[in-house]
A and B are shown apart, each in its own frame.
Chain A
């Protein structure tokens, strides 16, 4: 697919704040499933800081805003060509050893219920098959329902509630995989549309599990599938905070209001549409 993405994040500060520093992981990964056509990041009133590729293969760009600012907008626009690699992250350059993704974080710490669920899936020597079964178990146990969990909800809490959003599905799957000694990580990105064709106008997240011999494989338990050409991968981390597309902080204290708008469009479908409109 040829996807056009526009992603605006607006922060409003009251009172206005100074020395805003941001570390952005907002550039699509480079691998066989993704090709970057053009990509632009801007932070309103901001000074461009360092840009570099880190050990995980993510492109990081730093920005600072001296302020005082009552509002900043992080805007991302660009085009990515994607293709289906059956979830396998093939041709991705990274240096971090998979074993570094076995450690727990606050969000993925195993509780009794997580251990039970991990155990119920059984072991098995086929690690890829095990990863699929774990993902299916998560899809099964956690219903997709926005608004019932929040950013700080842990895997254990989400499992107890039995419902949540993509972040919760990913955290639970990561926790289960690590319990089976499978390195697992959190991936943030975009999704064009769910498998039934419904447009997905929000940021998305899923999990990747490392399978010996195959490498990193994506699993989207929230949608019960593996990422394909509808997915755009930005970057990864041990959990949601570690993989956050935007990490920022400002000097001083005040109320912060956040609004986000994401659009992921299929360029060719749009062209077909406009053609058919001119023809009619």
Chain B
């Protein structure tokens, strides 16, 4: 398999990387080690860590940061931006539809079962139209590149995509360590993200809110692996970080306990999953939520971002229909491609996948974080056969995709600089407007040859640059 190298075309350095190449080539030998240590110390000091599930060891492990940035030209970015915004509009239109008249199902463009029997389809919010008709306010769209102009969407994250704090911190640290780089390159800023996020949240305040909206971030607490991000964003946005016990329902509204007495809350950016939001509506044993919250939400007394039930749009089975959503709701051709996907509950697909397991990537429908997946070409015969048994036991739990030739970016490794595979997660904000900061989170598979970029599987992160014109 050959891979698109984002920096080099043969031995020629691609234009956007020209200045970076000079920087690397003129870098003194010990400078890199020194800077790497400095970066690590900075990350440690600000406390940005990522707990790695199931791997044991230090729960406060640092996510590895690679100092070599990833670069996009303005023109490349413009196209991505249009594609991402288009997709975000279609996903929200889909959510509005399936919790309303479900025209797309009536039109036979998506099977009813896939929607209504989906675990993430929440019947409690059928008929509820959130402010501005927006269900998913922060959409993280995972993209991979396979060629100069070839980008594919790997998955959509419509619930509570994490990682944006890395986008911001990576930039902050790069600017602090290499101010010269930012003088020599014209790089679009990303630090307006928290302000844009706050504006987005305020723009979806309920109609009953007549003052400047009070927004909060609702976290499950400090034991959550993304707690750092929750407090980081609250801090930058200038809003309160609250846990379920800090909020309560009284009459028709939700209030926050403060030292000055109860304060009404209009918009909740929740970082807890639907089943834990309200023990009166969902899991009765949840201690993380706010009793009665869903009744207030359903009657328009508070906004919840993302809206409960938004997860039905980012399911791996629904994913295959997103291009159809773009055509159906927007009457446009999709700008970004989907990866070809075989759904194992279909007989033909099942046969094809089982006959070609060694070439394919197989994922659990509801899996995430790179767990429970098979990368055929990177697996041993035994691993493939073991996985085959899992599929046979429950075919409907799996989808398969071709193994994509993920692009590479030069990355600092022990021996110097070497290509490593990358993906990209931009964060699209949907409120009264749809906005996207120029950049995102680039994840890099640090193990040589690895195609799995998840931080839980040994992935690292890079600063992502979009060059100004």
Contacts and interface: CB of A to CB of B under 8 A. Distances in A.
B260 interface: no
Interface string B104-148: 010000001101110101011111100000000000000000000
A258 interface: no
Given A21-B291, A21-B292, A55-B127, A64 B250 contact: yes
Interface stretch (B165-173, B175-183, B278-286, B361-369): B278-286
Contacts of A218: none
Contacts of B248: 19, 21, 251
Given A49-B249, A60-B295, A99 B112 contact: yes
Contacts of B281: 23, 247
Contacts, number: 91
B318 to A, nearest CB: 15
A23 B281 CA distance: 9
A123 interface: no
Given A66-B250, A96-B126, A97-B102, A49 B296 contact: yes
Contacts of A19: 248, 291
Contacts of B294: 23
A62 B292 contact: yes
A249 B284 CA distance: 9
A251 B123 CA distance: 27
Contacts of A22: 292
A99 B113 CA distance: 7
B299 interface: yes
A100 B249 contact: no
A132 to B, nearest CB: 25
Interface residues of B, number: 34
B116 A99 contact: yes
Given A55-B126, A249-B291, A21 B117 contact: no
Interface string A64-108: 101000000000000000000000000000011101101100000
A241 interface: yes
Interface string B289-330: 001101110110100000000000000000000000000000
Contacts of B292: 21-23, 49, 62, 64, 249
Interface of A: 19, 21-23, 47-52, 54-56, 60, 62, 64, 66, 95-97, 99-100, 102-103, 241, 247-249, 251
Given A52-B295, A54-B124, A64-B251, 17 more contacts: A21-B248, A23-B294, A23-B295, A50-B295, A50-B298, A51-B299, A52-B299, A55-B124, A62-B296, A62-B299, A64-B292, A97-B102, A99-B115, A99-B116, A100-B117, A249-B280, A251-B248
5 contacts: A55-B127, A60-B295, A96-B126, A97-B115, A248-B280
